[in-house]
A and B are shown apart, each in its own frame.
Chain A
Amino acid sequence: MQTICDGRSGEIQLMQGNQAFARGALEAGLSVVAGYPGTPSSEIVENLAKASTVRDIYVEWSVNEKVAMEVAAAASFAGLRSAAVMKQVGVNVASDFMLHLSESGVRGGMILISCEDPGALSSGNEGESRPFAKMFEVPLLEPCDMQEAKDMTQWAFELSEEIGNLVMIRSVTRLSHASGNVKLGSLPEAAPKARFKHWGTLMDADEGPVTPVPVHYRHTLMQEKLKKAVSRFEESPFNFYEGPENPEVIIVTSSACTLYSREAIRLLDVKDRVGLVKLGTTWPLPPRFMEKYLSKADIIFTVEEVLPFIEDSVKILAADISDRIGIKRFHGRGDGTLPTINELNPDLVAEGLAKILGMEYRPVAPAYAELVDEAVGAASPPRDLAFCAGCPHRASFWSIHNALEMDGREGFVCGDIGCYTLAVLPTGFSTLRTIHAMGSGTGIGSGFGKLGRFGMDQPVLSVCGDSTFFHAVMPALVNAIHNRAEMTLVVLDNSGTAMTGFQPHPGLTADAVGNEAPALDIAGIVRAMGAHVAESDPFQVEETRDKVLELIQKGGVNVLILKQSCALSPEKKGKKLFQVDLDRSVCLGENCGCNNLCTRVFKCPGLQWDAEAKSARIDEVICSGCGVCASICPSGAITKKEVA
């Protein structure tokens, strides 16, 4: 098996950004990594999991990001080098611990890698986590390409150990999921030994207890650590200037935006007019370095995503030293030169720069643009997001949706995060009516479930996946039970963390590396909490619908576990439960009695409408053999036969 450990020092490989982060951590002598699956971060842990088969490292998919950071911190306290890996929203979950960790300090080098998703390509939000570095006073690094991803990770560990605090590295989708040339370094031989030194006094940072108390003492230490980091930043090769001696405009940028900014300068052919200050260390800003280059021009254009984080820091710094550098004019997200939402790309930066320079940027001739618009409108049918063929969620939401319609009291479902989040769309019959963070469905359901006293008689449901259950739903469920909320939680147990790439979780029998692990039983846990528990196979749609109907008439807190593995899971791939056939002569199609139920409403990709034959048909290649369509077909045209 190929792993990121392959390749000698000095060799150049085409590496994914996340692989580069992982390789950098290994080259720094990482011993422990913990994370929670989240796009675009997951490949870091996955690559390290593969590497752990040939190197002595511990790799864990923790139950949630807070615990992941705590697990990594423990390794650091014991003198090992460790990393916590997550997407931007994971940092929100870990933030309470992160605050206290920064105040207590670390021992072995520890880094947090936060992979963010500007543009919400795989998220339900455009949040970012850089402000946490400022809030919790830890150094923040932003690599701009794959080589830096590796090199800065390595350096981050050194920095962390030197100052005795966590170092945060921030990546974005366009870096984590991009690939590029990386020159490899060497992997260390030594395997450090773990020992937690704790017998010193409370004030002993190296061998005493690891705590944020006494708070004022530790807070002072923390700020001194940050100052030390800043002095390293002043000399760092990851901050540099490129461009003319006397530019008209200075672009201040970091991360992938560095590459967009360079490209924008090239697209407008203004490299003699525009200079670029590339920052790799973005909190705190190194003031001497910044002063040197801010004084070169009167116009400062900050290019970053998503918040004007660097922009605001630059403005504050410039205000502080305005007597030395003069008054500047600032452009960026604050004044509308760049859009305030969505991710950036070279065109948006070029448009902004062109506006500042009084130029025009027109990348596509209007005639061509019009023609291609027409072409796409005429000949490029849309590709909607949909559940896969054989997805148990389609069947689950079919049953839940129908039960709610039949019940007729305007009941609703509070959604959560996973593949099933798509049920806010027609693919899930638009059943979800709220979606927020991990575990929020049940938290909000617990709240709705108490509003009966104010006259609300609508049935309240929430859904969650098996991984989400362990991550954040359990405390919310405890809350509902103890506070006697009236609600029903439906656990959609498809045996994996599917949306992010089918990683394992505590409900399964394997760990991150594939070793056997004890599986926790969701039904048993919920029963012990004191909720009424029912189970059903979501592929049995009528039975499931009736169970939902029964539970929403009942009072109290009910939990319905719908167990059926994901269509993409290893045990399902390539194997059909049923051979499903469609008899065209029986199919009612557009007529009264059917009105294209399977292709127009149920909409499984395996079912196709043949407009010429005026009948549905099954695509053998796409059909996964779940048999649900046979249960819902009103004419009996679709039949299923168990496959041996």
Chain B
Amino acid sequence: MATQALAMDPYNLIITGVGGQGNVLASKLIGNMLVDQGYYITIGETFGASQRGGSVMSHLRVSAESIQGPQIPRGKAHMVVALEPTEALRVLKEYGNPGVKVITNTRPVYSLAVVCGDSPYPAMDVLKGWMDKLTAGAWFIDATDEAMKLGTAILGNVLLVGALSAVGDLPLERDRFQEVMARTMPPAKVEMNIEAFEKGQSMIV
């Protein structure tokens, strides 16, 4: 059914962030790119409190063989794409393992506990230190900054999809991305999104 077998089947991808960052959009985008290629996709979303400051998490399961459940089992994530760095760490607690890979945005979104002075927000190098200890590979991308250069902060999620594409575990080529964009976005926005995708790809070395 699918065009190519996966290195791991099912491949378990988690996309996480804070409400309003385009988490669901990113997961749908990746899902559509892969359904088009004949894979079985299940995306499980946890977004109940997203509008009100809460964490958001999408579990994306990719399989060439069969439909998977909407919740990834403990310790079984292969890849975590995070729109917010502390959320990446939070996800690793339940789903991380020594072989997991992480691609994360570096821009913090402060929770209420942080902004009112109750809890400190960790320094970036502290976060990086933990991620290096807890993963088999971690990439830190200034997705929000680059997105703002391209026009708007919300493009950060597309940038990260581009980065995911470049890592190469999943078949997420640029042409495939363009097809999905053309189908789901108004024509005026497609160009900007492709730029963001390509920029994200270039940020993986």
Contacts and interface: CB of A to CB of B under 8 A. Distances in A.
Interface of A: 2, 12-14, 39, 121-122, 145-147, 174-175, 177-181, 256, 259-260, 262-263, 267, 345-347, 350, 363-365, 368, 371-373, 375-376, 378-388, 419, 422, 427, 568, 596, 599-600, 603, 605, 607-609, 611, 619
Contacts of B74: 347, 363-364
Contacts of B27: 179
B42 to A, nearest CB: 5
B111 A263 contact: no
11 contacts: A14-B35, A14-B43, A121-B46, A177-B47, A179-B43, A180-B40, A350-B73, A368-B96, A371-B133, A380-B86, A386-B112
A607 B115 contact: yes
Given A375-B134, A380-B86, A383-B55, A263 B45 contact: no
Nearest to A123: B48
B189 interface: no
Contact of B110 (A122, A568, A608): A608
Contacts of B89: 372, 375-376, 379-380
Contacts of A381: 86, 111, 113-114, 119-122
Interface in B122-156: 122, 126-127, 130, 133-134
Contacts of A384: 53, 111-113
B162 interface: no
Nearest to B19: A383
Interface residues on B, range: 35 or more
B22 interface: no
B48 A39 contact: yes
**Interface of chain A, main secondary structure:** mixed
B73 A267 contact: yes
Contacts of A350: 73
Nearest to B153: A621
A263 B73 contact: yes
A375 B132 CA distance: 11
B14 to A, nearest CB: 14
B51 interface: yes
Interface stretch (B64-72, B166-174, B191-199): B64-72
Among A122, A179, A345, A373, find the residue whose CB has the most chain B CB atoms closer than 10 A: A179
A114 B91 CA distance: 30
Interface of B: 18, 27-28, 31-32, 35, 40-49, 51-55, 67-76, 86-87, 89-90, 92-93, 96-98, 110-117, 119-122, 126-127, 130, 133-134, 184
Nearest to A362: B75
A372 B120 CA distance: 18
Nearest to B55: A383
Contacts of B69: 256, 259-260, 262-263, 346
Nearest to A260: B69
Contacts, number: 177
A611 B120 CA distance: 10
A180 B73 CA distance: 18
Given A180-B42, A368-B98, A379-B126, A599 B116 contact: yes
B69 to A, nearest CB: 3
Nearest to B39: A181
A568 B35 CA distance: 33
A385 B50 CA distance: 9
Contacts of B44: 174, 177-178
Contacts of A422: 52
B43 A609 contact: no
Given A180-B67, A383-B55, A385-B54, A372 B92 contact: yes
Given A181-B35, A256-B70, A600-B116, A380 B90 contact: yes
A114 B116 CA distance: 40
Contact of A345 (B45, B71, B184): B71
Given A177-B44, A181-B35, A385-B54, 15 more contacts: A14-B28, A178-B45, A179-B45, A345-B73, A368-B75, A375-B92, A378-B126, A379-B89, A381-B111, A386-B52, A427-B112, A568-B51, A600-B117, A609-B115, A609-B116
A603 B67 contact: no
Contact of B93 (A12, A146, A372, A568): A372
Nearest to A426: B112
Given A180-B43, A181-B40, A609-B116, A363 B73 contact: yes
Given A383-B55, A386-B52, A422-B52, A364 B45 contact: no
Contacts of A380: 86-87, 89-90, 93, 122
A551 B110 CA distance: 39
B71 A346 contact: yes
A179 B28 contact: yes
A303 to B, nearest CB: 12
Contacts of B115: 599, 605, 607-609, 619
A177 B73 contact: no
B75 A363 contact: yes
Given A368-B96, A384-B111, A388-B52, A259 B67 contact: yes
A239 B199 CA distance: 49
A377 B114 CA distance: 14
A372 B131 CA distance: 9
A379 B130 contact: yes
Contact of B70 (A259, A262, A427): A259
Contacts of B71: 174, 260, 345-346
Nearest to A117: B48
Contact of B130 (A180, A345, A375, A607): A375
Contact of B97 (A146, A368, A609): A368
B161 to A, nearest CB: 15
A392 B41 CA distance: 40
A599 B45 contact: no
Given A380-B86, A380-B89, A603 B116 contact: yes
Contacts of A368: 75, 96-98, 134
